[in-house]
Amino acid sequence: MAVAAAEFRGVAKVFTGRGSSPALEDFELQIKEGEFVCLLGPSGCGKTTALSLLAGFDRPSSGTVLHRGRPVIGPGADRGVVFQGDDSLMPWLTATENLLLGPRIRKVPVGEQRATAERLLALVGLVGHGNKYPRELSGGMKQRIQIARVLANEPDMLLMDEPFAALDAQTRTHLQDELVRIWSQTRPAVLFITHDVHEALILADRVAVMRAGPCSAVRITFQVDAPRPRDRSDPRLAADYGEIQRVMAEEFQRARR
């Protein structure tokens, strides 16, 4: 059996000083190499917590978080993170400089850096915008820079925390398609957090729905077999949508109580 790209085994996470209930309890999830997994759930169910643990920003209170069979002990370029919103870009650097932050940290030679920048700007469709500062870029463009930024380190995995949540519907749709296109080139394993069922069905190989928090864990997973690129009006997706949405609605009700 091949080693999973990422695995959560019996993970629990308690935050000190926030009341006694753990955010996550007995959280189990496996992500295979090359698999695109969407984590769905109502607000406050701990999806971001799970991602933080895999990213290495935080440690589990109990249980194990593994990346390629080895425990996660801290953040690293092998698990690139795309954050929600735009406050993780450095406003004092241009788009290209932001993109090249990883190579710069690794002291990659300048010539190679420039080539990387050109290649990635083309990949995410931002040729010609490299010298702009984040404040001059639209929301969609900033998210694309974030994607380019993590790809510059050729990560094993992509961890994406509701990256398109703050964008308008049109941009979101466009970026979803772009993401699938970009992902198809190298097919890293992906953990993608969202609360939008449509989005999950367009992007994921597998959708994991979480229970409402606290003490949350994965309630059920759905396999999505439709070939990519997916058609949003495909009736097979509509059937999946109905099923998943029902579960989500139940969890949403439980969260409200």
Partner 1 sequence: MIDKRFVNTVLPYLLSVAIMLGMWQLAATQINPLFFPRLETVWRSFWVLAQGDLASQVLVSLTRILTGFGIASLVAVPIGLLMGTIPAVHRLLDGPVEFFRFIPPIAMIVLAVAWFGASNVAIVFLIGFSTIFIVTINTEAGVLHVVRNRIRAGQMMGAGFWQVFRLVVLPSAIPHALIGMRISMGAAFSTIVSAEMIAGDNGLGYLLQDARTTLRTGNIFVGIVLLGAIGMLTDRVFRALVDRFGGEHVGAR
Footprint of partner 1 (CB under 8 A) = 55-57, 74-77, 79-81, 83, 85, 87-92, 101-102, 104-106, 149-150, 153
Shortest gap between Cβ of 108 and partner 1 (angstroms)? 11
Shortest gap between Cβ of 177 and partner 1 (angstroms)? 25
Beta strands 206-210; 218-223: pairing state: antiparallel
C-beta closer to partner 1: residue 155 or 214? 155
C-beta closer to partner 1: residue 163 or 247? 163
- CA nearest to 13, candidates 55, 84, 64, 75: 64
Shortest gap between Cβ of 81 and partner 1 (angstroms)? 5
C-beta closer to partner 1: residue 132 or 198? 132
C-beta closer to partner 1: residue 83 or 222? 83
- CA nearest to 97, candidates 145, 158, 135, 154: 145
Shortest gap between Cβ of 190 and partner 1 (angstroms)? 15
Sheet holding 189-194, edge to edge: 79-82, 157-161, 189-194, 36-40, 206-210, 218-223
End-to-end CA distance of the chain: 42
C-beta closer to partner 1: residue 108 or 215? 108
Shortest gap between Cβ of 141 and partner 1 (angstroms)? 17
Residue with tokens 């300048």: 110
Sheet holding 70-71, edge to edge: 24-31, 6-13, 62-67, 70-71
SS3 204: coil
